């Protein structure tokens, strides 16, 4: 099954999940499950629109990203230009994050608004070919509109969590007898939404690795870069930022939790590297 089919399947499951929550909320508080579902979906749609038009600006400001010109960092700027040409997309804007932790991300709702942001720490430890591999990975995200997909996934998950909390407080202070089914649903709903969001994120990362390796024509360089970034980020994880932004980055910059696989925004780094090494063997025959 292709990654697009799997992603659509996960989104479909998320929508069904939301309708089910709307059904329970509407039936319990409004006496009409259709009204509950519609209200729930309208809230999610509004949140999606805000995320679609302004999400990339919030993220760049959150991480103090500094837009650059070619004269500010010729190597980085020209690498983005070269990789964008190979990927047949408009060159995105380029920004540097004032972070010693080596990492990178892409953001923006489409090619016209896209930004590739890399940290100063990444520029300090990667060679030219490794940098090309990382940029190709991020350009692949832009080409496939993964930022939009993940914004929608994050917003849907956020809507589920928001509604669950709202219903929880209403039930807590209401004189009505608590509905056990609704109570269980409100506890499990945010967990389920996060699991689905993270599953979508992992699928997109696998595909961006594969597409980025094809664009850069050097799977081993991207594999080497991932190994370097993983070691650095786990030795010195990011601590003063919001962990919910972890799915933006090429590797998870935050310390791992106890539920690494189920709640991780990224696939296991060993598996990603293994896939790229296998691609490199295929490339050697071309």
List residues with catalytic annotation: 138
Q: Which residues of 5-35 are buried (b: 16+ CB within 10 A; e: fewer)?
A: eebeebbeebeebbeebbbbbbbbbeeebee
Concatenated DSSP letters of 122-184: HHHH--HHHHHHHHHHHHHHHHTTHHHHHHHHHHHHHHHHHHHHHHHHHHHH-SSPP-HHHHH
d(CA 135, CA 156): 28
* Residue 211: closest CA among 158, 128, 274, 279: 279
C-alpha to C-alpha distance for 40 and 84, rounded to whole angstroms: 39
Task: Calculate the alpha carbon distances from 197 to 18, 108, 155, 246, 264 in Å.
Answer: 13, 18, 9, 12, 10
Residue 31's contacts (CB-CB under 8 Å, 6 or more residues apart) are: none
- DSSP string across 191-218: HHHHHHHHHHHHHHHHHHHHHHHHHHT-
Closest of 17, 57, 60, 62 to residue 40, by C-alpha: 17
């Amino acid at each position: 099954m292709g990654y697009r089919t799997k992603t659509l399947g996960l989104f479909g499951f998320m929508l069904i999940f939301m309708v089910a929550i709307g059904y329970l909320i509407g039936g319990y508080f409004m006496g009409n499950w259709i009204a509950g579902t519609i209200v729930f979906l309208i809230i999610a749609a509004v949140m999606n629109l805000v995320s679609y038009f302004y999400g990339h600006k919030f993220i760049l400001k959150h991480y103090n990203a500094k837009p650059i010109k070619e004269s500010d960092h010729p190597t980085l700027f020209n690498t983005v230009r070269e990789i964008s040409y190979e990927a047949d997309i408009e060159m995105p804007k380029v920004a540097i994050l004032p972070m010693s932790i080596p990492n990178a991300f892409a953001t923006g709702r489409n090619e016209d608004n896209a930004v590739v942001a890399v940290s100063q720490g990444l520029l300090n430890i990667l060679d030219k070919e490794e940098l090309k591999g990382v940029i190709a990975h991020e350009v692949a995200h832009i080409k496939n509109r993964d930022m939009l997909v993940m914004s929608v996934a994050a917003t849907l998950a956020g809507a589920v969590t928001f509604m669950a909390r709202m219903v929880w407080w209403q039930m807590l202070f209401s004189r009505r007898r608590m509905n056990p089914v609704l109570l269980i649903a409100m506890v499990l709903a945010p967990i389920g939404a996060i699991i689905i969001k993270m599953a979508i994120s992992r699928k997109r990362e696998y595909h961006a690795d594969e597409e980025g390796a094809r664009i850069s024509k050097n799977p081993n360089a991207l594999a080497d870069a991932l190994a370097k970034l993983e070691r650095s980020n786990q030795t010195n994880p990011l601590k003063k930022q919001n962990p919910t932004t972890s799915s933006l980055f090429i590797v998870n910059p935050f310390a791992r939790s106890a539920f690494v696989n189920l709640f991780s925004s990224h696939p296991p780094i060993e598996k990603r590297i293994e896939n790229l090494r296998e691609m490199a063997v295929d490339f050697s025959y071309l």
